[in-house]
């Protein structure tokens, strides 16, 4: 199971690297063409915008698994250990329900937009709006993979120097 999780995380990371690289190459090429030839690619800004949308939604799961999203822990810190675990379990359940709801809403919205096309690329908007359900589905998978250490000890997953997952706990107590 750990190997599948590692492959999943690596593939998610490489997808982000490829999208960011494509965005950088597209924007860089467009800037170079604009200054060297006084002409630009009519689709470059649109492609970069849609790649940014996909990057935003598909990177949220990797950020979630490392504890990178904003968290206010005052209530949790004031509770006894059992209360902390119950609160974190409740947070996981609420997040799972919310993420599932957003997959549903995102898919419905993407389906409604499937007959409209983008102005420059002429792509059906379903490909742009599919970033939302895909991103929230990735959030569900990442949350399920880190839920146990988060609930039991408040830990997050981190990639260590060797590229393997390790648990990191607040306050520096690694386990």
CA distance 52 to 105: 20
Neighbours of 86 (CB within 10 A): 13
CA distance 82 to 84: 5
What pLDDT is attached to residue 166? Answer: 61
The proportion of the chain whose per-residue pLDDT surpasses 70, expressed as a percent, equals 88
What are the pLDDT digits (tens) for 111-161?
A: 999 999 999 999 999 999 999 999 999 999 999 999 999 999 876 666 555
Q: Is 77 helix (H, G, I), strand (E, B) or coil?
A: helix
What pLDDT is attached to residue 173? Answer: 42
**Sites in the chain below the pLDDT cut of 70:** 155-175
The whole-model pTM stands at: 0.85
């Amino acid at each position: 199971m750990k190997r599948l999780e590692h492959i999943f995380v690596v593939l998610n990371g490489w997808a982000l690297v490829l999208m960011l690289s494509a965005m950088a190459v597209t924007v860089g090429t467009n800037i170079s063409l604009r200054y060297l030839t006084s002409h630009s690619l009519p689709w470059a800004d649109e492609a970069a915008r849609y790649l940014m949308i996909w990057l935003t939604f598909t990177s949220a799961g990797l950020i979630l698994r490392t504890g990178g999203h904003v968290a206010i822990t005052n209530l949790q810190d004031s509770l006894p250990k059992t209360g902390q675990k119950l609160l974190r379990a409740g947070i996981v359940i609420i997040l799972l329900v919310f993420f599932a709801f957003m997959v549903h809403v995102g898919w419905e919205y993407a389906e409604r937009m499937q007959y409209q096309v983008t102005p420059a690329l002429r792509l059906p908007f379903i490909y742009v709006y599919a970033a939302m359900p895909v991103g929230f589905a990735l959030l569900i998978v990442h949350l399920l993979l880190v839920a146990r250490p988060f609930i039991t000890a408040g830990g997050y997953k981190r990639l260590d120097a060797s590229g393997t997952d390790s648990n990191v706990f607040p306050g520096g107590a690694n386990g």
